[in-house]
Each structure stands twice: as structure tokens, then as C-alpha cells.
């Protein structure tokens, strides 16, 4: 495990990295990884038409894409895999990748590991955005230096 975020960024540089799930938080993650000269392959069950804008943005930067129904079939040979929060850690593809020696993680996991401030997470199936927004406003009104990140607010790896 790395001691701080700077060491983590050094660890990621030039690695063969997979990002599973091309959603709200993983798009800025892909940008972050590209800036570190990681060789990035993005995986998603959506097809190329659904992700046309993302593909147009990242293909010229060297990002490869594995898309569609069998998108996880080629999740092999990666040194680091950032999984989407909805993907179970015991999924067949991740278990096989871990057995090959891949470091399996997520944007949130690495953020929590290296963030020097207190971190509060809000989970559940309904009401997360509203609850997060209310708590954020309450903290700000009480004078706390609060920040909202992830699927709402600022991407987690955008502040380094």
C-alpha cells in the first residue's frame, strides 16, 4: 500500500489499467489516469453508439474500449483495475483478474485511503443526492469546510 496520494499517482504511472464502468465518476477517473500516462482500457456493457461522446473524447488519447454484452471477456492482463461501485468484488471476471495478480480497487476506495480529512459516505437506494445536499448545506452553514464529491459535486480525483 502506498503512503500517500503522491505515491499512489507514481504507482499508477505507465501501468496497464482497466476502468470498469463508464459512468459519471469514472469518466473523470479515465482523464486522471490518462494524465498519468497509464495505458487505459475502459469497459462497459453499453454499446459504442451510447458512448459515442466518451469514445470521441478518449480514443485520440489512446484509451481502448471493450463494450457490449460480453464486455468483461477481455478483462485480463491488467496491473490495476478500477471497478464500478455496482460491480461485486466476487464477480467471475474480477476473481480471475486478481488471480493473475491485478490490483483491484475503485475510485472511492483510493480516495478514502488517501484523503487527509474526515470522510462521510452516504449509501442506500433512494435519497442519497438529497441527503448529501442537505448535510452539505448544514455543514457549510455551521462554518465547516465541506466538500461534495463522487457522482454529484466534484470528481474525487479532480482535486490532487
Q: What is the pLDDT tens value at each position of the chain, 160 positions in all?
A: 567 888 888 999 999 999 999 987 789 899 999 999 999 999 999 999 999 999 999 999 999 999 999 999 999 999 999 998 888 999 999 999 999 999 999 988 888 888 888 888 888 778 888 998 999 999 999 999 988 877 776 777 764 4
The string of DSSP codes covering the chain is --SSHHHHHHHHTT-EEEEE--STTHHHHHHHHHHTT-EEEEEESS-TTTTHHHHHHHGGGT-EEEESTTGGGG--S-SEEE--TTS-TT-HHHHHHHHTT-EEE-HHHHHHHH-SS------SSSSHHHHHHHHHHHHHHTT-----BSSSSB-GGG--
The reported pLDDT for the residue numbered 85 is 83
The reported pLDDT for the residue numbered 153 is 67
The reported pLDDT for the residue numbered 148 is 86
Q: Domain 5-113 falls in which CATH fold?
A: Rossmann fold (3.40.50)
The reported pLDDT for the residue numbered 39 is 97
The reported pLDDT for the residue numbered 121 is 84
Q: What is the pTM of this model?
A: 0.86
Residue spans per domain, the chain: 5-113, 116-158
Amino acid at each position: 500500500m502506498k503512503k500517500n496520494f503522491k505515491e499512489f499517482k507514481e504507482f499508477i504511472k505507465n501501468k496497464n489499467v482497466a476502468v470498469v464502468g463508464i459512468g459519471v465518476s469514472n469518466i473523470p477517473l479515465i482523464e486522471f489516469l490518462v494524465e498519468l500516462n497509464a495505458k487505459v482500457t475502459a469497459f462497459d456493457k453499453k454499446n459504442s453508439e451510447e458512448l459515442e461522446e466518451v469514445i470521441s473524447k478518449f480514443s485520440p488519447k489512446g484509451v481502448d474500449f471493450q463494450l457490449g454484452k460480453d464486455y468483461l471477456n477481455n478483462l485480463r492482463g491488467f496491473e490495476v483495475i478500477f471497478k464500478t461501485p455496482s460491480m461485486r468484488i466476487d464477480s467471475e471476471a474480477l476473481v480471475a483478474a486478481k488471480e493473475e495478480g491485478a490490483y483491484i480497487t475503485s475510485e472511492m476506495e483510493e480516495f478514502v485511503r488517501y484523503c487527509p480529512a474526515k470522510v462521510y459516505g452516504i449509501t442506500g437506494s433512494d435519497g442519497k443526492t438529497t441527503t448529501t445536499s442537505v448535510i452539505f448545506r448544514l455543514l457549510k452553514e455551521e462554518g465547516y469546510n465541506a466538500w461534495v464529491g463522487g457522482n454529484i459535486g466534484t470528481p474525487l480525483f479532480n482535486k490532487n
